[in-house]
Structure 1
Amino acid sequence: MSADTKIAELLTELHQLIKQTQEERSRSEHNLLNIQKTHERMQTENKTSPYYRTKLRGLYTTAKADAEAECSILRHDLDKIAEIKSLLEERRIAAKMAGVYSDSDPPRKTMRRGVLMTLLQQSAMTLPLWIGKPGERYEVDDIDEEGKERHTLSRRRIIPLPQWKANPETDPEALFSKDQLVLALYPQTTCFYRALIHTPPHRPQDDYSVLFEDTSYADGYSPPLNVAQRYVVACKENKKK
């Protein structure tokens, strides 16, 4: 099966999943409205009867099931999107290796620096948000470096970029903490440098604020600079012999 055919099938499946997501959302909204109306009646009557307790218990049970069903479909949506993006990247790499470029995807060597910086920021903004169960952690994949020939490297020579964006409100333990040593992408460059976390993100859309090591400053660190979650990774200290 060709990549184009597979992508077309996945897009069709994604379309159906999105329709199911909307149906689940409409169902849950109807039930949430019933919960709200029941609470309003209780406040009007100023009493909590066994009838209302039983009714609310059933409504909340249904609301929980609706939320779990919607969450399950959303996970399938994210899986389909990730699979489509992976196939598109494989097709782009295959075309690059074959020397075939489209107008919308020129060779890396002809890209202006400003265009490359914009692509890096867009990649960070579209990083999927990880929605995990309590105690569940994200997985990461190795990503080929753009603009160079493919190399074969050992695992110890590779630092993978995150596949998911962590939500500080639900998974704060997945984020680097203040004063932690990391490697971060220096703004307007494609190089990672050692830095200290100045301020972790407070919301999913926020960046890290980091202090880059810089001997030109009296304290050895630059002023705080913002770096997207995607471009902040763990720094492994060299073992002293």
Structure 2
Amino acid sequence: MGRTKGSAGGGSKSMPPEGQSPASSEVSTSSSVASAEIRIKDNLKELFSLIHQVQEERTRGENNLTNISKTHERMQQEQKITPYYKNKLRGLYNNAMQDAEGEAELLRKALDKITEIKAIRENRRFDSDRPKPIMRRGVLMSMLQQNAVTLPLWVSKPGEKPPPLCGAMSADNNYVAKPGDKVAARVKSSDGEENWILAEVSTYSTSTNKYEVDDIDAEEGKERHTLSKRKIVPLPIWKASPETDPEALFPKHTLVLALYPQTTCFYRALIHEPPKKPQDDYSVLFEDTSYPNGYSPPLMVAQRYVIMCKEDKKK
């Protein structure tokens, strides 16, 4: 499953807005970068504090679990369950539950802080006036893999439902992807064929309801496409945990669009096996007529790059 690409048109050097000198533009950019650095440092300090609090909460919880274990040992030695032991265990178990809930809440705050830091770094890169660097193929593939691995994990609280864009959960109808967000975009190639590619949002126009997106794999500068909302599918912004939110994962035999390994194109595929653990990938079968049954052998694709199929299956 290769990807044929035409050369992207070269662009002239961007000029500062009317009435703004190059020097003032550089000062504005420098100020924005400095502000972002300060926010990142502040968030890192808060993250450091949260991690210490998690460790303290975990130590307290381990001590409580040790007391529970010792109480059970004494009950077994005495071979009787007295009201004293019942009340003591009830209190210890209540404390253990509170400790676990407290640790889980701190971990959620830490994950939110990491997500915030990543967003600031992404916005800082996107707001820069410097041209987008052209990456070597291997560097790009490594970056995409890293983005998938570091995608935040959503863990619902008891009774809570996973939010939109968590795993297989679709975006709300009025959702608009932000500049810098990665999406699947259906674009027309030079031969007139339409393909789903990995792209990055540049702008969105509320008057036309259209996106401008850049091909993530442009070989010469930017390859920009103007597309309607129906030709854009936002990628998940959280991984779903099979242990707490199995409903946010595509079940076996579901038809999806998945990023073919070592490419930046999405193709139709069937879910062979959904993830079993939070860090697991999907096992998928890509549609491929070169195989007798019409599907490739199972291939692993990260949650980040498996999305709802907006096309009908070929007859």
TM-score by length of 1: 0.88
Greater RCO, 1 or 2 (C-alpha within 8 Å, sep 6+): 2
Unaligned stretches of 5+ in structure 2? Answer: 1-31, 166-170, 172-176, 183-199, 201-215
Counterpart residue number, 2:197: none
Q: Distance in 2 between matches of 1:12 and 1:151?
A: 40
- Matched to 2:36, the amino acid is A
Which deviates more, 227-236 or 130-139?
130-139
Matches within 5 A, 1:12-51: 12-51=45-84
User: CA shift at 1:153, angstroms?
Assistant: 4.8
> Which of these residues, 142, 145, 148, is aligned with residue 121 of structure 1?
145
Residue 162 of structure 1: how far off its partner (Å): 1.1
Q: Quick check: 15-24 or 155-164, which moved more?
A: 155-164
Q: Residue 193 of structure 1 aligns with which residue?
A: 267
How many Å separate the matches in 2 of 1:13 and 1:34? 32
- For residues 76 and 139 of structure 1, what CA distance do their matches in structure 2 show? 19
Q: 171-180 vs 136-145, which deviates more? A: 136-145
Contact persistence 1:168–1:202 (CA under 8 A):
yes
Q: Distance in 1 between matches of 2:104 and 2:70?
A: 25
Aligned counterpart, 1:174: 248
For structure 1, the residue ranges without an aligned partner over 5 or more in a row are 101-106
Q: Which of the numbers 202, 223, 227 marks the counterpart of 2:297?
A: 223
Deviation at 1:150, TM superposition (A): 6.6
Q: CA deviation at 1:108?
A: 3.7
| CA root-mean-square deviation | 2.0
Q: In the alignment, does 2:278 pair up with 1:204?
A: yes
Q: AA paired with 2:123?
A: E
Paired amino acid for 1:136: K
The amino acid that maps onto 1:137 is P
Paired residue total: 230
In 1, Cα distance between the equivalents of 2:269 and 2:160?
28
- Classify the secondary structure of the residue corresponding to 1:159: strand
Q: Is the 8 A contact 1:194 1:212 kept in 2?
A: yes
> What is the Cα deviation at residue 237 of structure 1?
3.2
**Alignment CA distance shift 1:150-1:26 (3 Å):** farther
Distance 1:149 1:91, change over 3 A: farther
Provide the C-alpha distance between the structure 2 equivalents of 1:29 and 1:17, rounded to a whole number of angstroms: 18
Larger radius of gyration: 2
Task: State the alpha-carbon separation in 1 of the partners of residues 61 and 224 from structure 2.
Answer: 48
Aligned partners of 1:138 and 1:164 also within 8 Å: no
Deviation at 1:151, TM superposition (A): 6.1
1:136 maps to which residue?
Answer: 161
Q: Which amino acid aligns with 1:16?
A: S
